[in-house]
Structure 1
Amino acid sequence: MRRSRPARAADLHALAQAMPHVTVEAGGRGNEVYQVGGKSFVYFRTPRGDAYDPETGERYDDVVVLWVPDEQDKQALVEDPGNPFFTTPHFDGHPSVLVRQSRLGELTLAQLTEVVEDAWCSRASRRRVEAWLASRGGASS
């Protein structure tokens, strides 16, 4: 895979599934919830009233929640105008960002890989993170 090509929704699924110790749960409407140690790190949301098209008022039906390490990382992602990430008041104080699947192509595969790896690291146990990093030669994402 060329890491500089635009990311796709299929990449998000593949990247989340490829992380160690991952289970995939079904959300209330069959939507995928990727977990490590029983903790979600990538969650394909069902349409909710807090994420909608400002012009039409229609709820977005393609929102994904990705955990982040902390508020600083969250703000860096949502405040960068070059990123498709956003948040809503519902997620104030929650260590996660939102992104529409239809906008994933605004990221490269390498950028999406980093966000998914960071999401996994923010939710996995320290022991699992250390083992995963060691398996990669100690390189962090």
Structure 2
Amino acid sequence: MATWDDVRERALALPETSESTVGAEAYRGFSVRDKAFAWERPLRTRDLAELGDRAPRGVVLAVRVADEGAKHALIADDPAVYFTTSHFDGYPAVLIRLEELDPAELDEILVEAWISRAPKRVVKEFLGD
């Protein structure tokens, strides 16, 4: 089970990452060079109605992914952890039931999200290529 403290620790360990608030609701989030790659995403009334009994009760983490294909692959691979709502249709981001996510998988998903937003030079330095 991953926690928000795990997210914060791992996200801030990535190069050039900063923590800030996101959106008018001032949710917590992480950016690389002012490009958000992971943020808290409480479910809205429309999301709750759409998800019904499948709506998670705990913290929901949203992360950027490479594209819609990556999003749907994650959801198909583990729908108990990954999901989406119609709000994110056509947008390269996936929602995560944080309390269902293995902390080891959190590292991988945050790095991939960070890579999707970080400048290529910074990614090359980070990966050692």
What is the TM-score of this pair, normalised by structure 2? 0.83
> 1:23 is paired with a residue of what secondary structure?
strand
| Greater share of residues in helix | 2
Query: Per-residue displacement from partner, 1:60-100 (whole Å, max 9, x unpaired)?
Result: 67322101112221111111246411001110111110013
Q: Which runs of 5+ in 1 are unaligned?
A: 1-5
Q: Which amino acid aligns with 2:107?
A: T
- Decide whether the 8 Å contact of 1:36 with 1:120 is kept in 2: yes
Aligned to 2:102, which of 108, 115, 131? Answer: 108
In structure 2, C-alpha distance between the alignment counterparts of 1:68 and 1:131, rounded to whole Å: 20
1:26 is displaced (CA, Å) by 1.6
Q: Residue 124 of structure 2 aligns with which residue?
A: 130
1:37 is displaced (CA, Å) by 1.1
Q: CA RMSD in A?
A: 2.4
Structure exhibiting the larger radius of gyration computed from Cα positions: 1
| Greater share of residues in strand | 2
Aligned to 2:69, which of 69, 72, 75? Answer: 72
Moved over 3 A (4+): 58-61
What is the TM-score of this pair, normalised by structure 1? 0.77
Q: Which runs of 5+ in 2 are unaligned?
A: none
